[in-house]
Structure 1
Amino acid sequence: MTTLTTPRLTIRPLTEADLPALVAYRNDPEVARFQGWPLPSTPQQERQLISNSPLGAAGWVQRALVTPTGELVGDVGLNTQHPQAELGITLSRAAQGQGYAQEALEALLDFCFSELKLHRVHAAIDPRNRAVARLLLRLGFRHEGTHIQSYWHRGEWTDDAVYAVLREEWKRG
């Protein structure tokens, strides 16, 4: 079981006890707006994210973001297809704007490049999610392109912006 720690977060596997909070924030319209999961989110649906697979196992592996008080404030996912991976992050509305996303993604990227020795990590986002686009750029990702109206999402054709960072670029300089 892979667990990462930062000054304010423990990044650990999701558990059955996390389901009420997970379902609650994933059903928040502001949180779910740019995310791809079906609504409404249900405990049965979110239970599929519970796994003891190690980070770096093939496919999506989800992790809880938990504060020292035990509060679940979000989750991160890593979809590893060696030597690359896609990442994603979701924060509860109350946790947004407090630096948790940057802190969690820095720890995850450090793990990806130092422990897993990945070559490239990318993220695909709805470009209307400007806060995440700015975060990815701050983390050293580059915008590689935007696929225009490339998928049907919540009743509309939606763009998909791709950002990526290479191991040799991570924390360079």
Structure 2
Amino acid sequence: MPPTSPHETRPDPSALIRETLAPLEDEIAEADQVVADNRAYLAEKRSRGLDPETKELLEQAARSPEAPDSLRKLATQVERGQITWDDVFRGGAGELGREFLSDAFRVASEHVSPEPVTPVEPPPEALAQGVDPTAVQDEMSQTLEEARMEHDRIWREALE
């Protein structure tokens, strides 16, 4: 419907949608910052190597009857001075090291189950402007899935 007078203007629907979705964009920017912080943390952690407590835990785990064969063999090589645990986690322990890290990541993944995420409902203002709520929820679900995949990729890199 056209304006009733030359002085009356209609709000720009695109501007209203951008304004309504701005908080979601802020959340995405915040998630991007968390990913960047995790990358920086992992890079710094990798540069320091494993702490003595973690090395001791690996050695204790290797003595367990339930320890995977790859862990036991690596612990033997560490004990003999052929490699270090830092070598293993830097990817410098050959196929056996890769096998152990793959097993360790698989087991860790099995023990971590992501909490279900409540779908985000679009604000009423967005709905009033004609925003498709299904499209917003689909986009948020896709963003969440991408964030999870990026998180997993970063942690896998840390173990390579």
Report the TM-score when normalising by structure 1.
0.27
Name the one with the larger strand percent: 1
Q: Give 1 or 2 for the bigger CA radius of gyration.
A: 2
Of Structure 1 and Structure 2, the greater helix share is in: 2
Give the TM-score normalised by the residue count of structure 2: 0.29
